[in-house]
Amino acid sequence: MSYFANIPEAPADSILKLSVQSKADPSSNKVDLGVGAYRDNNGKPWILPVVSKASSRLATDPGFNHEYLSVGGLPALTGGAQTLIFGQNSRAIDDKRVYTIQTISGTGANMVGAVFLKQFKRPENAAVYISKPTWGNHRSIFQTAGHEVREYRYCNYETLGLDIDGMVADLRAAPEGQIIVLHACAHNPTGIDPTAEQWQQIADAMEERGHFPFFDCAYQGFATGDVDRDAYAIRLFVARGFELLVAESFAKNMGLYGERTGCLHAVTRSADLIPAVSSQLNRLSRATISTAAAYGAKVAGTVLQDPELYKEWLDNMAEMSSRIKTMRDALRDKLVELGTPGTWDHVSNQIGMFSFTGLSKPQVAALKEKYHMYLTEDGRISVAGLNTGNIDYAAKAIDDVVRNVK
Amino acid sequence: MLSSALRTSLRRTATSQTSTPARALATWAQIEMGPPDAILGITEAFKRDGDARKMNLGVGAYRTDEGKPYVLGAVRKAEEALLAKRLDKEYLPITGLAKFTGAAAELAYGADSSALGRVAITQTISGTGALRVGGAFLQRFYKTQQTVYLPSPSWGNHAAVFRDCGLKVANYRYYDAATRGLNLGAMLDDLRALPRGSIVLLHACAHNPTGVDPTPAQWQQIQSVVEEREHLAFFDMAYQGFASGDADRDAAALRAFVAAGKAPVVLSQSFAKNMGLYGERVGTFSIVGADAAERDRLLSQIKILVRPLYSNPPINGARIASEVLNNAPLRTEWLGEVKQMADRIIGMRTALRSRLEELGSAHSWNHITDQIGMFCYTGLKPEQVDRLAKDFHIYLTRDGRVSVAGITTANVNYLAESIHSVTKN
């Protein structure tokens, strides 16, 4: 009898399952609005031109090899990433109170931060609060790391905008000193971001209760097309004196996805805390992966450190974010044109890769069955899956299910 | 021109900076300095040393006879082939690149192994990541025992990885300091004495840090005891092909356990050294299941474990490894290069031992050539290691472990003379 005989089958990851179904669908009309990866107007993955340039440089560099990175990661990446997140004139960087460790993309950064906090958080029973809703993997990451996970209100399901009052009330009602996971920009899955004013309110409530911010930043530059605007919330919190963690991913904004390129940043109150904090982050990363993946880091580092390539990157990002914005507006306009019941402003007001359409589960199922349109059960669409070739079809499909499926 | 909202928020920020700072948690203040990493710390010290004769015998990365990192020819060709394909950078599935893991399984278990159809295998973040996924899997599903038994000594990171998984860590006797070889009797005694069904970590070949491997006959005895006590064999194979120069020979112990089918077997596999892919983080973790259905169930659970750790593994290194393993000419070229690396190392062992004997050292240095793989457990004491660093600018870990790949024809004599200096009495 096998030792493993009594291990049950685990449920498949729902988003990835969707992707498998979509790939297997032979229909020429199919529209994949599932996984959050950018697509060009032909529905194809897009290698950023600047990334191709950086890759060519690496390919022709006689010094290129596959040696181990240090535990902290590639300095060209970690240093460049720090400046990207915290700004050119960051007091925190100048004060030497930021430590950055390279990670296996955003997931790895979230997990390293989660494990670090489990070991060192005060109070020891502080829970981790995630937005309702949030990226599916957040709950899993923090629970796996051993935290109790709770939710704060975020999405107003009526207006499909931010429930700022609910959010602030929940932050105030929480016990003091909790860990709050915040999406820096382009909230996943809703696309709903706080305004600058609302970020101040959030910061006020967090300051009042002594909460600890853990920013998840997976879309810097990808949300508004402007890296500084997209980093506003993080920089606000730093300027207001918070200590915090930032999980950063280059998967979307540099299109590096499978290269698994990311960082975790820790901002402390003073430089003398950095040796201890960095040594502990290094220790726990060493026991998980030893060192992070070199290739993607070298590509990203090359782009971040070369002024011309950096500028070109900003242009590439603007191209992606503006195509997405165009599709948002187009979808909204077509739904209005069709007279689809309900209001659709939220589709163009929301920001980033995703839109929380407000479609119900039965409507989503009907879209899949009747129209070969794939989106997650919660009504989230990956806007990058829309293009000039399928936008009419998609709008009509949505119109149909909104009218005829409850 | 700033928007009014932005101006307002900046004003508020300025005000906040002069008022009482945010009531920060005392989160960071009581964090103690973490221990310095012994192995990686050697490289730091080496870098700081300005002496022209300096030698880095710390980290286990292969070096050419010129002392340079080595990008294998087969790897370069694979990279060129991949560039021409102009592939995208889309996410891999959670368990990685199937063409890679399939070929990796064949390499480890043997192309004709009956296990291939029932091995649950996932790509991992090199060997460390494989150990981590494996440890996490056992912590969650292996309820018989929750202690991993490591040979004494073992790679410095093993204990940290398994402890961070939530497992306990203990040791079985392995290295005999008197003979600088294997203490088989003690090892067998200890394995027999372990609670039934214990998790036993075994280095498949080229033991790190000692270089001491059991002979085939000794492996049979080890296998008997493991099977008798119904232990779980957790093989760590980071040097396949790199130890003897022959990939099948180096996997012989693993395959014998699997062929017998009596003990559960799990495997951590790394391509860091044998393909020189170090920083690309290429590895696998696998479990030998009873049948295909069990394999699928195991895979479903492995995916659940991996998703919160890192979602999916890196593409670059896996694609290179897949190209090398699946393309016949490249594979042949690769195996030839692995043999060359192994042969150079064996050559340096021979040269070091000869030189020490020529110098008239009173000690026995047979162990240098008896041991195998990247590392040599010289038998040097910590004080002697410290002297080597301070007086001779030669850096190795304080357990006396030398990375033989750091030795070249240009520096082997200097090394021998220095070792002789600190060991003659």
Distance from CA of B139 to the nearest CA of A (A): 12
pLDDT at B21: 37
Residue in B28, B312, B313 closest to A243 by CB: B28
Is residue B375 over pLDDT 70?
A: yes
Kindly state whether A63 is in contact with chain B, defined as any CB-CB distance less than 8 angstroms. Answer: no
Nearest to B383 by CA among B363, B401, B400: B400
Closest CA to A201 of A175, A172, A174, A160: A172
What is the structure's pLDDT at B390?
A: 94
Q: Which of A7, A69, A105 sits opposite B298 (nearest CB)?
A: A7
Give the Cα separation of B309 and B135 in Å (integer). 13
- Of the candidates A406, A328, A400, A342, the residue with the CA atom closest to the CA atom of residue A371: A400
Crossing angle of helices B156-164 and B126-141, rounded to 10°:
40
| pLDDT reported for residue B8 | 46
Q: How many residues does chain B have?
A: 425
Residues of chain B neighbouring A107 (CB-CB closer than 8 A) = 307-311
pLDDT band at B383 (very low <50, low <70, confident <90, very high): very high
pTM (2 decimals)? 0.93
Q: What does the pLDDT look like over B280-333, one tens digit per residue? A: 999 999 999 999 999 999 999 999 999 999 999 999 999 999 999 999 999 999
Contact residues, A window 18-57, toward B, CB-based 8 Å cutoff: 35, 37, 45, 47, 51, 55
Nearest CA in chain A to B29: A273
**Residue A293 contacts B, CB cutoff 8 Å:** yes
Render pLDDT for B92-107 as a digit per residue (tens, 0 to 9).
Answer: 999 999 999 999 999 9
**Any chain B CB within 8 A of the CB of A121?**
yes
Helix or strand (DSSP H, E) at B123: strand B119-125
**Could you give the CA distance from residue B223 to residue B233 in angstroms, rounded to a whole number?**
9
Instruction: Suggest the residue from B28, B30, B100 to mutate for an interface test with chain A (most A CBs closer than 10 A).
Output: B28
Q: How many CB pairs under 8 A join A and B?
A: 264
Each residue of A292-321: pLDDT tens digit?
Answer: 999 999 999 999 999 999 999 999 999 999
First to last CA, chain B: 79
* Amino acid found at B238: A
Name the residue facing B89 among A144, A242, A259 (closest C-beta). Answer: A259
pLDDT at B36: 64
Query: Using 50, 70 and 90 to split pLDDT, how confident is the model at A58?
Result: very high
Is the Cβ pair B303, A13 closer than 8 Å? yes
Distance from CA of B79 to the nearest CA of A (A): 9
How does the average pLDDT of chain B come out, rounded?
A: 92
Terminal-residue alpha carbon distance, chain A = 50
**What confidence category does residue B262 fall into, taking pLDDT thresholds of 50, 70 and 90?**
very high
pLDDT given for residue A313 in this prediction = 98
Six-digit token string for A191: 């696309």
| Contact predicate A317/A221, CB 8 Å | yes
pLDDT at A15: 78
| Pairwise CA distance, residues B172 & B231, whole Å | 13
Evaluate whether A223 touches A193 at the Cβ level (below 8 Å): yes
Which ipTM score applies to this complex?
0.94
* Residue B416 pLDDT exceeds 70: yes
Q: What is the C-alpha to C-alpha distance for residues B380 and B77, in angstroms, rounded to an integer?
A: 41
Give the closest-approach CA distance of A322 to chain B in angstroms: 21
The phi and psi torsions of B30 (rounded to 5 degrees) equal -95, 15
Q: What is the pLDDT of residue B30?
A: 65
Q: Do A258 and B312 touch (CB under 8 A)?
A: yes
Would you list the DSSP string of A158-221?
TTTEE-HHHHHHHHHHSPTT-EEEEESSS-TTT-----HHHHHHHHHHHHHHT-EEEEEES-TT
Query: Which residues have CB under 8 Å from A21's CB, separation 6+?
Result: A368, A374
What residues in B contact A8, CB-CB < 8 Å? 297, 301
Residue A263 is inside which H or E element, if any? Answer: strand A261-267
Residues B236-255 pLDDT 10s: 999 999 999 999 999 999 99
Please check whether residue A198 touches B, CB under 8 A: no
The tokens for B280 are 């690309």
Kindly report the average pLDDT of chain A as a whole number.
95
Q: Which residue of B has its CA nearest to A14?
A: B304
The yes-or-no verdict on residue B347 having pLDDT over 90 is: yes
Q: Are A243 and B164 in contact (CB < 8 Å)?
A: no
More confident of the two residues B372 and A11: B372
Q: How many whole angstroms separate alpha carbon B337 and alpha carbon B328?
A: 14
Q: Compute the distance between CA of residue B87 and CA of residue B74 in angstroms, rounded to an integer.
A: 19
Query: What's the confidence (pLDDT) of residue A11?
Result: 82
Phi first, then psi, for residue A233 (nearest 5°) are -60, -45
- Gap between the Cα atoms of B100 and B87, Å rounded: 16
B116-151 pLDDT tens trace: 999 999 999 999 999 999 999 999 999 899 999 999
* Closest B-chain CA to A259: B314
Tokens of A116: 């670090």
